[in-house]
Each structure stands twice: as structure tokens, then as C-alpha cells.
Structure 1
Amino acid sequence: MSDPGDAASRPNVVLIMADQWRGDCLSGAGHPVVSTPYLDALAGRGVRFDRAYSAVPTCVPARTALHTGLSQRTHGRVSYLDGVDWDYPTTLAGELTRAGYQTEAVGKLHVHPERSRIGFEHVVLHSPTGLIRTARQQGRDPDLIDDYLPWLRRELGRDATFFDHGLDSNSLVARPWDKPEHTHPTNFVATQAADFLRRRDPRAPFFLFASFNAPHPPYDPPAWAFEQYLDAPMPDPPVGDWADVFAQFRRPGDPAAFAAEVSPAALRRARAGYYGHMSHVDQQVNFLLGELDQHGLADSTYVCFVADHGEMLGDHHLFRKAFPYEGSARIPMILAGPPGSDLAGGAVRDEVVELRDVMPTLLECAGVPVPASVEGHSLLELARGGAGAGWRDVLHGEHILFEQSLHWLTDGRTKYVWFSGSGHEQLFDLVDDPAETHDLAAGPGGPSRVAPWRERLIRELTDRPEGFTDGAALVTGRPVHPSLPHLR
């Protein structure tokens, strides 16, 4: 552990995570519907990374990258799979704890076993609805994996639950929160995080991880947040000239489908619930930042805001996450620092960054050495206006979906997608076509434009155990399943 006197002089670190928040859903980034004035203000005094991605865009693998600083080739989680133990010896919280930081996690961790602290000294857990229901089905006491539910019963009575309004945790069905607003899970996370600021040890710097389940379904924001978007003008979701590639997977009538064509009315309510969650989180983030100020901590604290992945929200008739497209894989990322941190206030960077970069960034902010095992790169030089020389030229992402692995590469200007099951390829111009509506691989000159990207992916996948390449070409039809020994 570092010398206590040295630790006491270090800045505090607050990492705020939202679940399933699209990278384009900030009003300060030009979104035509959602209003996020407080996150916009945070970006205004810090730096917003416009090309931030989640390389494996679902909850478990994304959070693995965040907390370990590792790529999926190393951490091994290339799809969503619950119930696999976290056995990573080096984590962001663990390094800060060893360096003398008081470390606290509040909200969603989504690790296994569920009570694993992954290096934090203390955890106040809000487990997702799906995990709680699974625990009940397995005969386990949900109170053993969640702190919010017993708190809610203390507030509202012993029969209280937060999913008795009937909404599922991956459904596009939306309705307002049916209980007092202070009992909403979003308020719970913000209030518990603020309570940590009150009871922390003032002699030590702290690392606070505040992790919201919203805007992930269930789409149940408070009524004021939901209703402000019900009648708001909303542009139609983009539908690409390639959208029928997923037509065989559409499931009409299933509100939790990954692919579906839904009625305009149902989609409007889903979007109102989604954006309403965002406005609610935005205000609760402002409450938490206000608590920092009230405790005299604002001028000694770095604040980072990220999401684990996005949400397709009807784009191309797709929903949820795990897709290689911008709605699913692109995320918001903001870093703001205390006075004297030399961050370029209000700047927007367009380098391709990823969740694995958060750990080395926050360790450098704290003045703590970055372990050699970390594969991400600190964003601090970029945030201070550096030229970004030598930054990664391309990011590789992937996810298993529909019994195949969807791989993608992007340099922030172009995106290449490969379907391991069928060998289908796509190419998008993210500058002229940010909504990915036109597949260039299918047009004139497509084969020649695709070829160099295919070569890049072959190099990326060489030596992977799935056998996606023989070193000279991509190999289609290889079996994929998240329970294989090397896929965790």
C-alpha cells in the first residue's frame, strides 16, 4: 500500500455508469429528442469522447473490460453468459484500494458470484431484475444478491417489490414508475452514493463507482420524465437498405425480441420510456455532483461518465444490444477534472476509445501506476489536448448472436462487419452515413473496398481458438457457443 500521507494528497475519483445508453443520446451531442442538460454541463467543463465504443456490447463482457482494462481476446468474454466466476487478479478498484483509496461501489455490478467485491472495500448492490428472478427460480434468497429490494421493503412494507408493475427487464413495453419517486432504483443509487460521501473517511482519497441500471429496461421512469417525451416530435428510426438480413430472426409479438417490426405507437412509448430514464438519470447525476460540491469535494475530484453499451431502439428493426451497429456498440464517455487538471474544457475528441481505456485513465488521474497486464490506454493525454500520435488506428469488436459471431472493425470513419455463420460482409461510411443505412459492400466497387478490412480482421482473429481464419482467409460456419471453455 502507498504511504498514507502520499495517498491523502491524491485526487478523488467518481466513475458513473449507465446501462444501455446510446452514444448519440446526449442533447449536447445534437440528439434531436433527449434532454441531458447536466451531463452536457459536465462535458462542458471536461472532455467528451465522441467515438467511444463497447467492444463486446452486452453487460457482462463490457463490465469486464471496464474493471480489468483487458480486451476480449484476453478476458475471454465474447458473449453474454451469467454464472461464470470473476477470477481476474487485477481490477481498477483493487489497484486503487491497494494505493490507499477508500473504494465504494453502489448499484449494478453484474459479476459472479454476485457478492464478489472485485477489489472494492464495500458494495451496496442493486442487481438487475433478471438476476433476481433467476435467483428465485433457483431457490436462492434474492436478498443475498441485492440490497435495493430489502431497502424497498423497509420503505414501503414487507410485500413491496420493484417488478410488480409487470414490466420485464428486456421488454420494450413502457409505463411510468408506480411508487414514490424516491424509491426508484435510479434515486436509490444516487442517494446511497451520496450517503457514502457523508460517511467516508476524510483522511483518505476515495473512489466511488455509481452504477445505474437505467436506461436499461424495464422502461419505467417517473411519470414526469416519461410524459415529457410521449408527444415530443421524434424522427423515424433509420432502416438500412440491408435490414432484411435479419428478417428471419424477427419475432412478431415478442416485446423482448432482438429483431421485430413493431407498431408506431408501441415504439413511441418505448422511446419515451428510454429517453425518460435518461432525463431522470441526468438529474440524479446532477444531485450527486451537487453533493460533491456540498462536501467541498468538487475541486479535488475527477468525474467520468460512461455506459456499458447502447440500445438499437428500433433502428433497422432491431432492439436491445449485442449488435455491431452504432446504436448498440457506441457509448457516451465524458471525463471532467478538478481545477489544475489541465483538461481541455468543452473539447470533443474523435479518436476511437473503448471501455478498456477507462481503467488506465482513472489510475493515471489518481497518480497510481498502471499494471503491466492492462491492455487499454490512458485517455488523459487526449483529454489534455494532446495530438494523439500513435493512438489505435482500429478497434475490433464482436458478439455472439443468432448462433454466430458478429465481428466488426472501425476506425471511427468506416465500419466493417463480418457474420461468422454466413460469411456475409458489410461496410459503412460513418462520416457520410452515420446511421449506417447504406451497405457499401453490396454496391459498386464493394469487393475492392472490403478487401483491406477483411485482411485486418484475419490478422485480428489469427490464433483464436474458434478457427475463424486459417491465416489466409476467413472461415465461415465455425461453431460458436458462450459455454465453450475459452469463452467466458
Structure 2
Amino acid sequence: MNSTENEGRPNVLLITVDQMRYDCLSIAGHPVVETPNLDELARTGVRFSRAYSATPTCVPARAAIFTGQSQRAHGRVGYQDSVPWNYKETLPGELAQAGYHTQCIGKMHVYPARHLMGFHNVMLHDGYLHHNRNNHSIPVQQHYDQVDDYVQWLRERVPGADMIDLGLDCNSSTVARPWHLAEMQHPTNWVVTQSIDFLRRRDPGKPFFLWMSFVRPHPPFDPPQAYLDLYEDADLPEPPVGDWARTEDPELVGYSPITGRGLVPKRRLRKAMAAYYALITHLDHQIGRFLQSLNEYGELHNTVILFTSDHGELLGDHHLFRKSLPYEGSTHVPFIVNDPGNRLGLKRGAVSDSVVELRDIMPSLLEAAGVPVPETVEGKSIWRLALAENEGEIDPAWRQHLHGEHAQGAQSHHWVTDGKEKYIWFSQTGEEQFFDLVHDPKELHNAITDEDCQERIRHWRMVLMQELEGREEGYTDGERLITGKKPLTVLSHIHGIAQK
């Protein structure tokens, strides 16, 4: 028996991927995608079928993971880089103070880029960070050459190599080509290689918290050729296009990485979809590689595992791409927990329909580790939803709905859902949408004018007004939603000064 087991505290493994849709799991019924290792985690663990990212882009989503807070509390309600991260209580910080050896490998997307956020050590690959590569006024110590560990590692093996060598834009969801170097040099493999090395060099006298944070399947869509081959000739499903989707808007003439919308040539879109699915299977196999190594080190059955994504990818749904928008492809994420040592008494193979969110990760992992949850945390521990003894029961104390939002210029929006219905309000135009997710999970019909839905719409509109009450933007006076108020990407209590 090793020293960690003697302490009686489990290791904690958080696995996050970037921009993976909720439906891209074969165990969830996807007709094409192959995810055998994630399927096994779900088959022997618990899968949450209604997991969401309330602010579905990289920066605010990670704020929810780090702090366990809603976007109203952590203050990042849109995407904005270069705003300092000064949170006092963080998930790795609390675990470190409790005696855990804490390590992040991969993407953090905080500012400054090498802010430890409570970790003892980080090995960083955030992908293409625009503010580090393009802003020449920033201090030299923040240049991407110096903040990115993967780039340094790659250049030791391939002199002069860079992340832009393939000519693919880091935010384009419509262009793809295969990885051009050895598979072991791919960023996905690098995260796992370094994570396995952490198992070697960790402090054996402490339990560990490891965050394996992958950049893929976020663009660039660059899977190794062997994985692209799996899908190039597959019968790929057509993206759903709702009766509300724009089809004649001038913005749709050609794809725009700025607006995230467009009519993309079918051949190009099909290649991008194949590459996206290939990246997911590549990730799955590499996650399996790490789990095998974890078992070889004798730690698999002493480790609690949580897998999720920071947000989704629209991938052509309704002629839309990327993330940030309030639709299922963007906001709905995979979420799996597993406890190989059966410490927590989970119902193996269960699927929970309760609405969970990224803010629930911090309290869940702290509780699993036996570490007190700070009062600043607003999320809830998910374990009671997954216990065998509670199978089939509805927890009345669990959240009844989730409020999501994203500041994005004219497309700024707010939404509320219970996983069965969704109401959306675009704050700059006043446009409303309502979807019955039980009978219309792909959001094909906007029921906002349907007579038999008006009572439910009024209910959700009131719920949203309650959520927005007191917000500094002035979105509601308590009796109505007020259109046209200037959206903020970061609330003033994060900046420390009021935004004008």
C-alpha cells in the first residue's frame, strides 16, 4: 500500500478538453464519433446528460472552473483577455493548502499567462494567445515565446517550428488539414507525455491534483492522418438547420471567423467535420494512454476522475460556428465522473438528467478530497446526484434552472434553461427565442410565437428578469427586460473600477 493510500485521501484528476460538443460521444448515441475510453469512463462511472457552460468561451468558462462561481460573481460575462486574475480562493489553491501536490499541464488561459492560480507548477500550452503574440506593447516577459512550454519543447525537436506552420487559423472551424509532424509531437500527445512524467516526479508522500487541460478539439483542426482517415469516407450527419436560421443574410456569403457564421462549401465543411471528429478520437486514445499509465503506477484505483469541456462547437448548426452563442452545440458540454476505487459509492453506468455547470467542478472535487469548500463558491457538489443509493430520485434542493449569457456586441444575449426548455433574449435587439428541448433537442423550431407556449415563455422571461435584477448594465427594472443597454465583457468589481 503506497503512502497516498495510507493517508486515505484520493488523487484528483481533472481532464478538460476545449470546444467539444456534448453529443460527440459514442455512448451518447453519436452515429459516427468513436470514443471508446470516454465511453468506458461513462459506463463504469456517471454521465451527466444536461451539463452546461454558462458563459461558453475559454476565459469565462475557466473562471467558473477555477473559482466555483457563477459569471455574476467571477465577473467575466464575455471574452476579454489581459484582465488580471486575482481570485483569493481557487480549486488548485485550496487543494495545495490541504496538502495536495498540484500540477496543471496544458491550457489555463489566465492573465498573466504564467499566473500559478494556486498550482505548485504549470506546464503551459494555451494555444494561440492573440494578446501575447500580437500586442507589442506588453512586457517582453509575456511574449508567447517565453510563456508557452510546448512551443519551447517542440523547437528543441523541430528547430524553428511554430503553431502557425500549417497555415490554419486558430479560430476557424471550417478549414482542416492533417498534422504534418510525428504524432508524438502533436499538442495532444504532449499533454499526456508530460502528465505521465508528472506521475514519475510527483511527491509520493502526498495525494496529487492533476489538471490535464487539452487545447483540442479547438481549432486548428489538425488531427494526425491516421485519425482523419477514420472519418474522411464516413457518412457524416448533416448539421441541423432550424426554421429560424438565417439563409439570405449578406453576412452568410462565405464564412466569417469574426461573426462565426456563414454558408460554407459542403466539401470544405465535410472535411472540417471529419477533422473535428478525428481530433476527438485522437484525444480519447491519448486519455486512454494516460489512464493505462496511471494504472501502471498503481494509482488508478486511488484517483477520482472528472472529464468535461469548457464549451462546445456549433460546427455548422444553423449555419453557425465556434462558440459563445446560446445554442446547444455551443453551451451544452460532456460531463463524466468516475471513481475506479469506488470510494464515493457512485451508481456505475448511471445517467443524471440534473442540470450541472462548470461552477460545480470545484465543490465536487474538494468534497471528494475531503477539503472544506470556501464560502465564495456558488456551485454545488454533484456527488449526491450520482450515488447508487439515490438512483432515480429527484433532489429538490438541486438548482431548478441555469442562467447563461455572453457579451458579444450585437449578438449579446442571456438565456435560461432547466435542460428541458430554453428561453433566449438578445439584449441589443430584443429578439427572443424559445425551444422545447425534450421534443426538439436540436432547436429546429423557435416556438416564441406558438400560442400553447406563451405561459411558459412568460415564466422564463420572469426568471431571467430575476437573474438580471441589480446588474450594473441595467438590463431590467424588475418589470421588463430593457433592450439596448451596453453590454460589458467584464463586470466592474473585477476591473476594480466602473466601466464607462
TM-score range, shorter chain: over 0.9
Structure 1 length as normaliser, TM-score?
0.96
Partner of 1:134: 134
Aligned pair partner of 1:442 in 419, 437, 449: 449
1:346 and 2:349 are equivalent in the alignment: yes
Count of aligned positions:
484
Partner of 2:289: 287
Aligned pair partner of 2:381 in 378, 381, 385: 378
The alignment yields a C-alpha RMSD, in angstroms, of 1.9
- Please list every run of 5 or more consecutive structure 2 residues that lacks an aligned counterpart in the other structure: 496-500
Shift in Å, 1:481? 3.6
Structure 2 length as normaliser, TM-score?
0.93
Partner of 2:169: 168
Distance 1:299 1:373, change over 3 A: same
**Alignment check: 8 A CA contact 1:96 1:368 kept:** yes
* Counterpart Cα distance in 2 of 1:292 and 1:464: 46
Q: Residue 244 of structure 1: SS of its match in structure 2?
A: coil
Q: Which amino acid aligns with 2:400?
A: D
Deviates more, 1:295-304 or 1:249-258: 249-258
Shift in Å, 1:128? 1.4
* Counterpart Cα distance in 1 of 2:494 and 2:320: 25
Q: Residue 441 of structure 1: SS of its match in structure 2?
A: coil
Partner of 1:38: 37
Shift in Å, 1:33? 1.4
Partner of 2:476: 469
Partner of 1:110: 109
* Counterpart Cα distance in 2 of 1:483 and 1:300: 39
Shift in Å, 1:139? 7.6
Deviates more, 1:123-132 or 1:406-415: 123-132
* Counterpart Cα distance in 2 of 1:134 and 1:34: 36
**Alignment check: 8 A CA contact 2:51 2:333 kept:** yes
1:182 and 2:184 are equivalent in the alignment: yes
Shift in Å, 1:135? 5.6
Shift in Å, 1:136? 6.5
Partner of 2:464: 457
Shift in Å, 1:95? 0.4
**Alignment check: 8 A CA contact 1:404 1:479 kept:** no
Q: Which amino acid aligns with 2:460?
A: W
User: Can you list the C-alpha shifts for 1:246-284, whole angstroms capped at 9, x where unaligned?
Assistant: 946435243564111111111101101111110000000
Q: Which amino acid aligns with 1:170?
A: N
**Alignment check: 8 A CA contact 2:414 2:427 kept:** yes
User: Can you list the C-alpha shifts for 1:181-223, whole angstroms capped at 9, x where unaligned?
Assistant: 1000000001101110111111100000000000000000100
Distance 1:397 1:280, change over 3 A: same
Aligned pair partner of 2:305 in 277, 282, 303: 303
**Alignment check: 8 A CA contact 1:128 1:213 kept:** yes
Shift in Å, 1:175? 0.2
Q: Which amino acid aligns with 2:412?
A: S
Distance 1:460 1:272, change over 3 A: same
* Counterpart Cα distance in 2 of 1:323 and 1:418: 11
Deviates more, 1:276-285 or 1:240-249: 240-249
Q: Residue 269 of structure 2: SS of its match in structure 1?
A: helix
Q: Residue 448 of structure 2: SS of its match in structure 1?
A: helix
Q: Which amino acid aligns with 1:354?
A: E
**Alignment check: 8 A CA contact 1:441 1:449 kept:** no
Q: Which amino acid aligns with 1:365?
A: A
Shift in Å, 1:443? 2.5
Partner of 2:330: 328
Q: Which amino acid aligns with 2:414?
A: H
Percent identity between the two aligned chains:
51
* Counterpart Cα distance in 1 of 2:117 and 2:138: 24
**Alignment check: 8 A CA contact 1:23 1:331 kept:** yes
Q: Which amino acid aligns with 2:474?
A: G
- Please list every run of 5 or more consecutive structure 1 residues that lacks an aligned counterpart in the other structure: none
User: Can you list the C-alpha shifts for 1:383-435, whole angstroms capped at 9, x where unaligned?
Assistant: 21433231100000000124342111110110110111111111101111100
Shift in Å, 1:44? 1.0
Distance 1:246 1:474, change over 3 A: farther
* Counterpart Cα distance in 2 of 1:17 and 1:6: 25
User: Can you list the C-alpha shifts for 1:327-368, whole angstroms capped at 9, x where unaligned?
Assistant: 000000110013232111111000000000000000011011
* Counterpart Cα distance in 2 of 1:269 and 1:487: 41
What are the residue-to-residue correspondences of 1:90-239 with 2, within 5 Å?
90-131=89-130, 132-134=132-134, 140=140, 141-157=143-159, 159-171=160-172, 172-239=174-241
Partner of 1:357: 360
**Alignment check: 8 A CA contact 1:126 1:146 kept:** yes
